[in-house]
Chain A
Amino acid sequence: MSNIETVTPQVALPQREPFRINWIRLAPLLYTIGLFVIWEIGVRISGLPHTILPTPSRIFEAIVQYWSPIWKNSLQTLYTTVLGFIIAVVAGLGIGLFIGWSKTIYAGLYPIMIGFNAIPKVALVPILVIWFGIGTVPAVLTAFLISFFPIVVNVATGLATIEPETEDVLRALGAKKLDIMLKVGIPRSMPYFFGSLKVAITLAFVGSVVSETVASNNGLGNMMASAQSNFNVPLVFAGLLMLAVEGIAMYALMAWLEKRMTGWAHRSTMSN
């Protein structure tokens, strides 16, 4: 996880010395290349057959060879993931605000949420298939179910941890619960919310791919499952690589969004 974080685009990095190579910015790229080189050499020296562990060059070959299905299935997976994720954001924000609203609701719903979160979501896929048939719908729903929990917890935590003094100052002015939520609770929980999006998008990929693997004729999960049954191991790895690329891209997007929307949270903690 931690080396993915360094891939985050550094939008506004001042370039004071244009003639010096910025090794920190280059590091993610260099390390990635290094990983592939070691992999390539390791496989070649050990002589593992590509049905066990293909070399990166063999995987890139597979990507070129099967580009059309890979592209189509990548888009499908991205689509189900993002759709499930968006539903999770909307529902997570809503439920998070609802739970954080009052101590009673928080106390009553929290254990239920924990219990629900403890269920492995892959176990729900068969039920979703019974309800909605195989294909896009269960994939979207699995992505949603697996990714909305961190959003709920973070939003609710942001609301539940309002400083009592701030609340007192506002209540002494005649503020209603709704005022306090709108003026303090919601803005205050935004850093928690945007922070949780990075976790949620990663989980959403897990959900959609799991569901596609067992219950779909589309998507990278399904493509990898059928490639595996044909012993087309390079194609399986090509699918993994595409997933990694999509995952990094979406994670970077969320990290960027977080920085854009809640810059004050980073700067204010830095100054304290």
Chain B
Amino acid sequence: MALVTIDNVDMRYGGPTGTLAVSGLNLRIERGEFVAVVGPSGCGKSTLMKLTTGLHIPQAGTVIVADQEVTKPVSIVGMAFQNPTMLPWRTTLENILLPLEIVERHRHRLRAHKAEYVAKAEALLETVGLKGFGDKFPWQLSGGMQQRANLCRALIHEPELLMLDEPFGALDAFTREELWCVIRDLHASQDVTIVLVTHDLRESVFLADKVVVMSARPGRVISEHMVPFERPRQLEILYEPAFNDMVQRLHGEIATARAAA
């Protein structure tokens, strides 16, 4: 049984006459899979994320996550958006520990096992190259650093499903590639399912097992591409002809989807 099954879903914002964001959306995500979602701007990618996490309930169709129909927010996910949304009155470390104060499984253990959790948060900070920045406030960090901390926050409670909505959009090329590797290693070392929304087609091909292309609004899935490259993938793959061919094909598809709108 797939971890996520989206079956013929319609989602309209703002009542019966509002914007139809997605229509006839079908998608299956297997456990442990890394799925990248690409498509024209405004096609409903963020909406897809919100439907999967139960932040929005569709008007038609069903969303099933972990064998249960989604009728309220599901609590097995970690989310990170393009905008880091760090709380400015908390230090970076306290921000990262925030999910533990919420998630049912951890909140009762937090006080007694504080040191253990702090150690874990610090280990995560080290993975993303933020060692020693835990006691800084978010506004003392650069945008890229905040985004890395944001990633740590999405991971601290070991979610089964990690939803990343353009998390690297605002970063420079080098930082972005560095974080690609962080995510790649995370996916390789842990039993986590990842859905990544992105505008960067190279990012999607480099990271994902499956790239899902969406049509212009109202969004639906127009094609799915399995990525044939062996894992573990190194950054050098970005310069191989086969890689670039695939990126180019995706690019062509999205351009057509945009023109069709």
Q: Which residues of A contact B81 (CB under 8 A)?
A: 165, 168-169
Of residues 168 through 207 on chain A, the ones whose CB sits less than 8 Å from some CB of chain B are: 168-175, 179, 183-184, 187-188, 190
Binds B, one of A28-36, A60-68, A260-268: A260-268
Inter-subunit contact A173/B88 (CB<8 Å): no
Smallest CB gap from B141: residue in A: A271
The answer to whether B140 and A174 have CB atoms under 8 Å apart is no
**Chain A at the B interface: SS class:** helix
Judge whether B99 is part of the interface by a CB distance below 8 angstroms. yes
Rounded to whole angstroms, the CA-CA distance of A267 and B88 in the bound complex is 9
B56: min CB distance to chain A, Å: 10
Per-residue contact bits, chain B 77-104, to A (CB 8 Å; 1 contact, 0 not): 1111101010111000000001101111
Is B75's beta carbon under 8 Å from chain A? yes
Mask for A145-167, Cβ within 8 A of B = 1, else 0? 00000000000000000010110
Query: A168: nearest residue on chain B (CB-CB)?
Result: B55
- Contact, CB under 8 Å: B87 / A184: yes
Give the complex CA separation of A272 and B87 in angstroms: 14
Beta-carbon contacts under 8 Å, B2-41 to A: none
B141 to chain A, nearest CB (A): 10
Complex interface: chain A residues within 8 A of B140 (CB): 271
A160 to B154, CA, bound (A): 25
Give the CA-CA distance A42 to B140 in the complex, in Å. 53
Are B102's CB and A175's CB within 8 A?
yes
CB-contacts of A217-272 with B (<8 A): 262, 264-265, 267-268, 271-272
Q: Is there an interface contact between A174 and B75, defined as CB atoms closer than 8 Å?
A: yes
Cβ B87 vs Cβ A166 within 8 A: yes
A166 and B53 alpha carbons, distance in the complex (Å): 14
Task: Please report the C-alpha to C-alpha distance between residue A165 and residue B84 in the assembled complex, in whole angstroms.
Answer: 9
Contact, CB under 8 Å: B85 / A173: no
Q: Cα distance A229–B98 when bound, in Å?
A: 64
Q: Which residues of A contact B83 (CB under 8 A)?
A: 163, 165
Chain B residues closer than 8 Å to A175, beta-carbon distance: 102
Contact across chains for A172 and B139 when beta carbons are under 8 A apart? no
Tell me if B157 and A265 are in contact (CB < 8 A): no
Determine if B79 and A172 form an interchain contact, defined as CB atoms under 8 angstroms apart. Answer: yes
- Do B85 and A166 touch across chains, with their CB atoms under 8 A apart? yes
User: How far apart are the CA atoms of A28 and B113 in the complex, in Å?
Assistant: 53
Q: Give the residues in chain B near A267, CB-CB below 8 Å.
A: 137, 139
- When the two chains form their complex, are residues A268 and B137 in contact, meaning their CB atoms are under 8 A apart? yes
Q: At the interface, yes or no: B73 with Cβ under 8 Å from chain A?
A: yes
Complex alpha-carbon distance, A187 and B89, angstroms: 8
Min distance, Cβ A124 to any Cβ of chain B, angstroms: 38
Closest to A166 in B: B85
Interface residues of B in 39-56 (CB under 8 A from A): 50, 53-55
In the complex with contacts A166-B85, A264-B89, A272-B139, A174-B103 CB distance below 8 A = yes
The 8 closest A-B pairs by CB, nearest first: A174-B75, A268-B139, A268-B88, A173-B102, A172-B53, A271-B139, A166-B85, A175-B102
If A170-B102, A172-B73, A262-B89 are given as contacts, then 5 extra A-B residue pairs at C-beta distance below 8 Å, sorted by A number, are: A172-B53, A172-B55, A172-B79, A188-B87, A264-B88
Can you list 7 contacts pairing A with B, beta carbon distance less than 8 Å? A169-B81, A169-B85, A173-B77, A175-B102, A179-B101, A183-B87, A183-B102
Chain B residues with CB under 8 Å of chain A are 50, 53-55, 73-75, 77-81, 83, 85, 87-89, 98-99, 101-104, 137-140, 153, 157, 163
